[in-house]
Chain A
Amino acid sequence: MSETPNAIDAITAPVSSPGEKFFPKFEVTPELTAKAQELVALYPEGKEQSAVLPIIHHVQEEFGYVSPEAMPWIAEMCKSTPIHVAGIVTFYPGIHRKCPGKFHFRVCRTIACALAGGEELLPYICSKMGVDPAEMTDEEPMVVSPDGLWSLEAVECLANCGFGPNVMVNDTLHSQVTRGKIDEIMAACKKELAAERKEAAAAKKEAAAARKEAKAAAAAAEDTPEPVAEEPQKPAARKTPAKKAAPKKK
């Protein structure tokens, strides 16, 4: 049994995913803390723990998933303990512990959608995304494509049973999905990505120009911001205007 990995360390063992390049790395900023406090304030006094799910949702929206580093912070925010937060995070299937791709496909495979052919869509989407369908198991139903652009998750009931098969792409539900429709959706996603990249590039150019200008104006400037040119796909550092310009995951 010695080769069995320690089940406890596995709770916070980082799971690397190619999707990470589309999301900023978890980082506690004053804005994030302020947002968490705002969420805590929604609940009656002394019931800070209630905000654990809302805070997790917010973290997930911002960073794509709940990374191991985020859990103690969440616990601190809602006056709970890290193990408690880990218990919550590992319970809900809607909370990702692995970063999904830029476009996260959730395919319903429960009875009504299955009758409508939802399960047959899975191998097709897998092949389109370039992932191995065998990687999807009952225990780990989410797979991410090697380029990090796509991820696919088989989920249970999306509550639109009459109009199956249902596929959710990020926050948008597509019903009565066929192979053709998958092609369309993926094409639209690619288009969105291209537009986003163009916009980000323009914003970056603008920022670079502004920086150059600033540099020229104050020759003895001490705190020159670091150039962000190395990783073109990454949303630019959080405080630059590029971030605000880039449309968030819808």
Chain B
Amino acid sequence: MSDITYKPGKEPHPRETRRIFRNIDREGYDPSIKCFMKDGGYETLKKCLKMEPADITNEVKKSGLRGRGGAGFPTGVKWTFIPKGNTKPVYLVCNCDESEPGTFKDRFIVHQDPHQLIEGMVIACYAVQAHYAVIYMREEFPEGAKIMQKALEEAEAKNFLGKNIQGSGFDLKIVLHRGAGAYICGEETGLINSIEGVRPYPRIKPPFFPAAIGLYGCPTIVNNVESLCQVRQVMLMGGEAYAAEGAQRSPGTRIIGVSGDVKRPGVYEIVSGSITYGELLYDICGGPRIGRKFKAIIPGGASAKVMRCDEILKDRNPDGTVREMTIFDVPMDLDSIAKFGSMSGSGGVIVMDDTRSMPKVLNNLNRFFAWESCGQCSPCREGNPWMYKLSTRICEGKGSPEDVDLLKSVADNICGRTVCAFGEACSWPTQAFTTKFREEFLALTKPINALKAHSAETAEARKFLTRED
């Protein structure tokens, strides 16, 4: 794509493959429909509108496209979960509540290339025959909301939205719905509740699988922003061509956001599995800052389990022999890192170097999760503040060695027992940090602290419970 020039200092790294991010930081490109259409925008949609909806779904299934919101569920398969013989309206919701710390890819699409998302959405809506769609955008994108609103109006004016789109007889209304700063709204059923105007508590599954019982009790497809843009890409390239590129089980490009202690943090679009974490951090991001060493990597957003950079990971070669490697040798696709107990989630890589105190990092994450817990189910509501209080106390030097084990045990008690995946999201960091960096936690503790009162109330009660003679 030599015909594209990027803004100075924003040029893509040679190892990047810009598809979704093709127009990000592009010289002379603005979010208007004019710019988008000059570049072949909405042509794919026109092509798709001439196809049978089922064929689009098949094409997406063939492409092997997997959702980019974190869970990595195959997008095409998700679409087929709408019950057969359904007579209710079908809804499509675009999850633009990008709120996983470390993930910041959707921001660029929304702010700089909104029509790409709209085109992808219209295609997806046509495929699942949804006539009403919602873009759920996080509140922290106020400018993005204005840009998107304008883009929607432009698209409607050009009849890419509204009644009888491009003469196909297909109607679609897209509504932009803004959240209000709650992490839990990124969970698809919480998001649906938020759109319904009730408290955004996630729903229990079963029975509330959105594809069967979603928005207003009707079948609802919830897709991430990047996934919907990838749908457009699939239809542009053809399912087979898309499937042929990148990792076999997670084809296509991925957008990776790198933050933390590297020389060049930022967002990079790479072909899935084409590079390793080492290549990403050393080649693309320029390695650690001068005089420092990488210490730990959170490979997939704040809730993924942290990886030690000096950890020896054992993998099996195809011939059955064991291969030793480190996190830097793991390829960047959706599944490889899962073999080592973590996940690549929504593609947010957070890097910490040797100057960082791991208990403090964990405490920061625990505060985040304690703050963001919706409070619907008991383990998460009560467990998160407890973990936060414990890690704070440990960081303040008021913890005892037993508190480290207690912290881990509290996390174990949350994990797998909650309504939604937040239970795992909030307990994985604690489980991983306290296991992998146990010595750092223990170094902050003193055995005598176990005997001290940890709350004002306890101190007060002690006056009555201990004899002073």
Contact = CB atoms under 8 A, between A and B. Distances in A.
Chains A and B belong together in one complex: yes
A135 interface: no
Given A52-B197, A111-B350, A156-B101, A164 B182 contact: no
Contacts of A110: 101, 302, 364, 368
A131 interface: no
Contacts of B258: 162
B352 A115 contact: yes
| Interface residues on chain A, size class | 35 or more
B106 interface: yes
Interface of B: 89, 98-104, 106-107, 132, 138-143, 175, 177-183, 194-200, 216, 257-261, 265-267, 298, 302, 348, 350, 352, 356, 361, 364-365, 367-368, 370-372, 374
A237 interface: no
11 contacts: A47-B216, A53-B177, A56-B180, A80-B197, A88-B197, A93-B181, A157-B183, A158-B140, A161-B102, A163-B266, A168-B140
Contact of A78 (B197, B200, B352): B197
A156 B368 contact: yes
Given A44-B216, A161-B102, A171-B143, A115 B259 contact: yes
Contacts of B257: 161-162
Interface of A: 42-44, 47-54, 56-57, 78, 80, 84, 87-88, 91-95, 106, 109-112, 114-116, 138, 155-164, 168, 171-173
Contacts of B132: 44
Contacts of B177: 50, 53-54
A92 B216 contact: no
Contacts of B371: 93, 138, 156
A111 B361 contact: yes
**Would you call the interface of chain A mostly helix, strand, loop, or mixed?**
mixed
Given A111-B368, A160-B107, A168-B140, A47 B181 contact: no
Given A49-B197, A50-B195, A163-B266, A111 B179 contact: no
A94 B302 contact: no
B304 to A, nearest CB: 12
B10 to A, nearest CB: 12
Given A114-B364, A162-B266, A91 B200 contact: yes
B327 to A, nearest CB: 18
Contact of A94 (B98, B103, B180, B372): B180
The 6 closest A-B pairs by CB, nearest first: A94-B181, A92-B180, A94-B180, A49-B197, A112-B259, A161-B259
Nearest to B362: A111
